[in-house]
Amino acid sequence: MRDEDQGHRPANLPDDALCYMPATEALSRFRDRSLSPVELMHAVIARAEATEPRINAITYRHFDEAMDQARKAEARYARGGRVRPLEGLPVAIKDESYIKGRPTSNGSLILKDHVADHTSPVNERILRAGAIVHARTATPEFSCAGYCWSRLWGVTRNPWNPDFTPGGSSGGSGAVLAAGSAMLATGSDIGGSIRIPASITGTVGYKPPYGRNPEEPPFNLDFYCHNGPMARTVRDAILLQNVMAGPHPQDIASLRPRLRLPMEMRPIKGWKIAFSMDLGLFEVDQEVRRNTLAALDVFRSLGAIVEEVDLNWPPDALEAGLTYLRHIFGAFLGQLLDDHAADLTDYARAFAEAGVKSKATDFVRSLETAGRMYATLGPILERYDLLICPTTALPAVPASYNQCGGGVTINGKDVDPMLGWVMTTPFNTLSRCPVLSVPSGRASSGVPTGIQLVGRTYCDADVFRAGLAYEAAVGGWFGGAAARPAL
């Protein structure tokens, strides 16, 4: 950071308040000149430098270039006139997608020297909208775990309690948001990789319906796979989602027309909301149950009718999701085994080996199970405006947890070590349903918990309408020192 930037401090706000300011408020302050992009970038970078030794959520740092870009954004605001939707905002990009000329590692030793030769569609849109990418965020190797560590980058820790993971695979994105070292962040979700870290870090994460946001080949054709926004407020998630969404000439699966979500929505009084504590599939921790029930009471206070439902899903519903992931994603990674098996983490190698062994008949059975699941959920969502359930069945696993070497126990019962402790994958199976994860409280460990707001297929606005109402009722998150990690 340049010496002349060291003196940039806003006159009316301490750095901590700046770092946790909603992105929408920062943009408003940029426009009325009560805050400069340079002042905000300085505060966010200082926060990152102070917190990174403890949480290790950032892979590549682009701080000096970010300060240069912040000065250019400051000049644009000074000239007046029209500015771009994310002009001057520090946005962290998951170290999985590409920015031309910049390194992208996917958390893998295999790609430690890789420099991208193109920019991914969603990153292209974020950059064109004026965002400043000051940091890339950590992932497990090739994003194939619900926690966040790799041989290349080490262990990423939860800002709320560093003994625990911030979740995965977009764990670094959730961690930098919770730590105050980014205003917005990107995630990708193939089995829960946006919603898991959103829940565990107390942030907001959105899995859009399949095709809403563009993806790169070949995973644009994998209907479990979604790019989406992560933020500290629901409005900030809408802000980034509106930039990311829409058809793209490189993605045949991207939807027309482009959907633009409003920032203000009507109340949900009179809504009928279905809830399931365990989806009929999961063992759920008692603290997660407690916080979920409290969140449901908030929806009742908003005038919604909340009723428990039985989804009657087949007992192999979770296994069907795992089967699909192995057959597509696992087989994709299996191409690395001949030349790079020794370079892989044990969890990525095991996933790739399972993918190579997968059969087409296994894949077809997973599709048949998906059909049976929607045969019951679809009619429920015709009768109800929304389905609510926990995001994770356990607040979090330890930061160094390894699904290859240890199990997970909930209420004294062993669950699947890969995804049995999270409740997200069924909604990748049912990928056309939009899902928003919002905080529901904190566990005794200090780790946050979350709930999923599941909407009817392609009804994105419904989950955001419910999320905005809920956020307003609880007073939001990260609003003061007591509501922020003690880093």
**For range 257-286, the mean pLDDT:** 98
Q: Which of 108, 170, 181, 193 is the catalytic position?
A: 193
pLDDT in tens, 85-137: 999 999 999 999 999 999 999 999 999 999 999 999 999 999 999 999 999 99
**For range 279-296, the mean pLDDT:** 98
Enumerate the β-bridge partners of residue 392: 422
Percentages helix, strand, coil for the chain (3-state, rounded to 5) are: 40, 15, 45
Q: For position 14, what pLDDT does the model report?
A: 60
Q: Which of 36, 143, 150, 169 is the catalytic position?
A: 169
Residue 13: band (very low, low, confident or very high) from pLDDT cuts 50, 70, 90 = low
Q: For position 224, what pLDDT does the model report?
A: 98
Active site (annotated) includes residue 431: no
CATH code of the region 17-483 = 3.90.1300.10
Active site (annotated) includes residue 94: yes
pLDDT of 294 > 80? The answer is yes
Cα angle for residues 205, 211, 213 (degrees, 5° grid):
50
Cα angle for residues 166, 171, 174 (degrees, 5° grid):
80
pLDDT in tens, 423-464: 999 999 999 999 999 999 999 999 999 999 999 999 999 999
pLDDT of 1 > 50? The answer is no
Q: Element (H or E) spanning 35, and its range?
A: none
Q: Element (H or E) spanning 446, and its range?
A: none
**For range 29-41, the mean pLDDT:** 97
Domain ranges for the chain, please list them: 17-483
Task: Count CA within 13 A, CB hemisphere, residue 59.
Answer: 33
Cβ–Cβ contacts within 10 Å for residue 180, how many?
A: 26
What single-letter amino acid sits at 146? Answer: G
Q: How far apart are CA 169 and CA 158, in angstroms?
A: 13
Query: What is the share, in percent, of the chain residues with pLDDT greater than 70?
Result: 97
Name, in order, each residue with C-beta under 8 angstroms of 268's C-beta and a sequence gap of 6 or more.
299, 302, 303, 304, 385, 465, 466, 469
pLDDT of 4 > 90? The answer is no
Supply the mean pLDDT for the chain: 96
Q: Which of 94, 170, 276, 431 is the catalytic position?
A: 94
Residue 233: band (very low, low, confident or very high) from pLDDT cuts 50, 70, 90 = very high
What's the length of the chain?
487
Residue 487: band (very low, low, confident or very high) from pLDDT cuts 50, 70, 90 = confident
Active site (annotated) includes residue 437: no
> Omega before 229 cis (within 30°)?
no
Residue 15: band (very low, low, confident or very high) from pLDDT cuts 50, 70, 90 = confident
Contact 230, 237 (CB under 8 A): yes
What single-letter amino acid sits at 5? Answer: D
What single-letter amino acid sits at 321? Answer: G
Q: Is 215 helix (H, G, I), strand (E, B) or coil?
A: coil
Contact 447, 399 (CB under 8 A): no
